[in-house]
């Protein structure tokens, strides 16, 4: 059966709204040997640019996607097959390939987003995978669950993965009593109760990392392991990002602020800026973010150090990941959690899990498997 020996490389769907993407370039030549996780080609959407990674091993037999050309999601971009498959079979596969429509695709995968009624209000979340281990992805200040678009599907291959919008973020309720780390940690705990999770591997980015550590310190039984990505709560320094993010009123002000997030500034697309601006303008968002910022980051200083509250020896195993070009929280903080595994990536900023998605995904998978 040719369909077992021939594996298509298709235009990925990153996030709910992605309908098409532009091939910007191939990273591998025809005939290259490919292993799972290898970056094969680069794709750009109106929101973000990223690499399409291999899920199977084999040989890159055919590069179908032309650079600088836009393809719908699920379109055939290339073919991976064993060297033994004849060229004619590859030709036939390519010519007979039918791109499934986006609607069928959504129907077969079920809802991308769900909502949980928690004691901290209605929280939006996404769920992927069905592995025995459960992981929860917690975004940072001003972020949302779509920040994990390059991670959630990959992590879902080996675990049951939830990503949620924190209160005041994304499409969750825009209110929170006594905004602060405790209230956010309570929201995550309440989310776990609502969807029936006893304990989970917590993967937190930035403020989300501080929330994860707070939970590990206050209720260690709920936390199987910690993955802390450019995490808050491991030192006092923090850049001007939060203040500038709050102060920015229009696209022009916001763009340079969001550029602080990435080592590669070109990743900040007009759509990314627009989406953040639209979010910031929702009623209730700005007051809540201001309260959170005042509680957590007043005077450009991290007010709470949950890392220091983790009891030595009793704390769950921790993995700390940082981007060396992080302009918001210095990568030196990666060294501040004794006993943790540490990985610092050059060529990545605060959004290291987007900029180095395949490496970060591999580290997290291994960490969850080993914990």
Partner 1 sequence: MARKISMRQAINEALDQEMARDPSVFVMGEDIVGGAGGMGEIDAWGGVLGVTKGLNAKYPGRLLDTPLSESAYIGAAVGAAACGMRPVAELMFLDFMGVCFDQIFNQAAKFRYMFGGKAETPVVIRAMVGAGFRAAAQHSQMLTPLFVHIPGLKVVCPSNAYDAKGLLIQSIRDNDPVIFCEHKNLYGAEADVPAESYAIPFGEANVVRDGKHATIVTYGMMVQRAMDAAAALAKQGVECEVIDLRTLSPIDWDTVIDSAERTGHVICVDEAHPRCSIAADVSAMVTQECFKALKGPIQMVTAPHTPVPFSPVLEDLYIPSAEAIAKAVKKSMAH
Output 97 or 113, the one with its CB closest to partner 1: 113
Collect all residues with Cβ–Cβ distance below 8 Å to 211 and sequence separation of at least 6: 138, 166, 181, 184, 185, 188, 204
Residue with tokens 């220091």: 308
Report the alpha-carbon distance of residue 58 to residue 35 in Å, rounded. Answer: 7
Q: Does 282 bind partner 1 (CB under 8 A)?
A: yes
Secondary structure (3-state) at 46? coil
Among 174, 350, 356, 367, binds partner 1 (CB under 8 A): 174
Integer CA distances (angstroms), 129 to 132, 133, 169, in order: 9, 10, 24
Rounded to 5°, the CA angle 156-160-166 comes to 95
Reported as type and span, the H/E element at residue 202 is strand 200-205
By C-beta, is 169 or 356 nearer to partner 1?
169
Taking CB under 8 A as the rule, does residue 169 contact partner 1? no
- Nearer to partner 1 (CB atom), residue 273 or residue 320: 273
**Nearer residue to partner 1 within complex by CB, 178 or 252:** 252
Q: From the list 69, 249, 271, 332, which residue makes contact with partner 1 (rule: CB under 8 A)?
A: 249
Q: By C-alpha distance, which of 73, 290, 80 is closest to 168?
A: 290
Q: For residue 43, what are the contacts with CB-CB under 8 A and spacing of at least 6?
A: 11, 12, 21, 22, 23, 24, 49, 50, 51, 52
Region binding partner 1 by CB under 8 A among candidate stretches 45-53, 231-239, 278-286, 315-323: 278-286
User: Nearest approach, Cβ of 282 to partner 1 (angstroms)?
Assistant: 5
Query: Residue 194: which H helix or E strand, with range?
Result: helix 181-195
- Asked if 17 interacts with partner 1 (CB under 8 A), we say yes
> What CA–CA distances, in Å, run from 179 to 210, 258, 291?
14, 23, 6
Q: Which is nearer to partner 1, 29 or 283 (CB)?
A: 283
Q: Which of residues 45-104 bind partner 1 (CB under 8 A)?
A: none
Q: Which stretch binds partner 1 (CB under 8 A): 225-233, 246-254, 291-299, 300-308?
A: 246-254
Number of alpha carbons in the 13 Å side-chain half-sphere of residue 113: 16
Q: Which residue, chain included where needed, has tokens 């929170």?
A: 176
Q: Which stretch binds partner 1 (CB under 8 A): 179-187, 237-245, 247-255, 311-319?
A: 247-255
Task: Pick one of 32, 57, 171, 303: the residue that binds partner 1 (CB under 8 A).
Answer: 171
Tell me if 139 contacts partner 1 by CB under 8 A.
no
Q: Which stretch binds partner 1 (CB under 8 A): 127-135, 243-251, 291-299, 333-341?
A: 243-251
287 binds partner 1 (CB under 8 A): no
Nearer to partner 1, 173 or 337 (CB): 173
Distance of alpha carbon 328 from alpha carbon 261, whole angstroms: 7
Residue 265 binds partner 1 (CB under 8 A): no
Out of 74, 124, 127, 214, point to the residue binding partner 1 (CB under 8 A): 124
Q: Which range of residues in 36-44, 146-154, 187-195, 280-288 is near partner 1 by CB under 8 A? A: 280-288
| Residue (63 or 174) nearer to partner 1, CB | 174
Which of 236/251 has CB closer to partner 1? 251
Stretch that binds partner 1, among 44-52, 95-103, 187-195, 248-256 (CB under 8 A): 248-256
Q: Taking a C-beta distance cutoff of 8 angstroms, is the pair 28, 51 a contact?
A: no
To partner 1, the closest distance from the beta carbon of 210 in angstroms equals 26
Distances (CA, A) of 161 to 47, 153, 286, 291: 23, 8, 29, 30
Rg (CA), the chain: 21
283 binds partner 1 (CB under 8 A): yes
Give me the torsion for CA of 88, 94, 96, 98, rounded to 10°: 170
If the CB atoms of residues 17 and 240 are measured against partner 1, the closer one turns out to be 17
As a whole number of angstroms, the distance between CA 179 and CA 288 comes to 7
Positions touching partner 1 (CB under 8 A) are 17, 113, 124, 171, 174, 249-252, 270, 278, 281-284
């Amino acid at each position: 059966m040719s369909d077992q020996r021939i594996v298509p490389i298709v235009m990925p769907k990153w996030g709910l709204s992605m309908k098409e993407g532009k091939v910007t370039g191939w990273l591998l030549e025809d005939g290259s040997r490919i292993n799972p996780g290898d970056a094969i080609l680069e794709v750009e959407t109106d929101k973000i640019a990223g690499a399409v990674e291999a899920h199977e091993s084999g040989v890159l037999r055919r590069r179908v996607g032309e650079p600088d050309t836009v393809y719908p999601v699920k379109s055939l971009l290339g073919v991976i097959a064993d060297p033994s498959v004849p060229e004619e079979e590859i030709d036939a596969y390519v010519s007979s390939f039918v791109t499934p429509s986006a609607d069928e695709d959504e129907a077969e995968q079920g809802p991308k987003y769900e909502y949980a009624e928690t004691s901290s209000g209605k929280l939006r979340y996404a769920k992927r995978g069905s592995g025995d281990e459960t992981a929860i992805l917690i975004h940072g200040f001003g972020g949302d669950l779509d920040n994990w678009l390059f991670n959630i599907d990959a992590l879902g291959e080996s675990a049951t993965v939830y990503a949620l919008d924190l209160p005041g973020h994304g499409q969750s309720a825009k209110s929170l009593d006594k905004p602060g780390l405790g209230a956010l940690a309570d929201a995550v705990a309440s989310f776990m109760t609502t969807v029936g999770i006893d304990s989970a591997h917590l993967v937190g980015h930035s403020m989300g990392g501080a929330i994860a550590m707070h939970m590990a310190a206050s209720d260690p039984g709920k936390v199987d392991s910690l993955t802390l990505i450019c995490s808050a709560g491991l030192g006092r320094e923090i850049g001007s990002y939060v203040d500038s993010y709050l102060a920015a009123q229009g696209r022009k002000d916001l763009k340079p602020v969001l550029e602080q997030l990435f080592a590669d500034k070109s990743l900040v697309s007009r759509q990314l800026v627009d989406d953040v601006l639209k979010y910031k303008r929702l009623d209730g968002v700005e007051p809540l973010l201001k309260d959170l910022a005042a509680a957590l980051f007043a005077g450009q200083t991290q007010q709470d150090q949950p890392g220091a509250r983790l009891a030595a020896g009793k704390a769950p195993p921790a993995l700390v990941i940082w981007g060396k070009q992080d302009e918001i929280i210095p990568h030196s903080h990666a060294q501040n959690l004794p006993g943790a595994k540490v990985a610092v990536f050059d060529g990545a900023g605060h959004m290291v899990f987007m900029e180095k998605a395949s490496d970060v995904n591999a580290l997290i998978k291994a960490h969850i498997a080993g914990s």
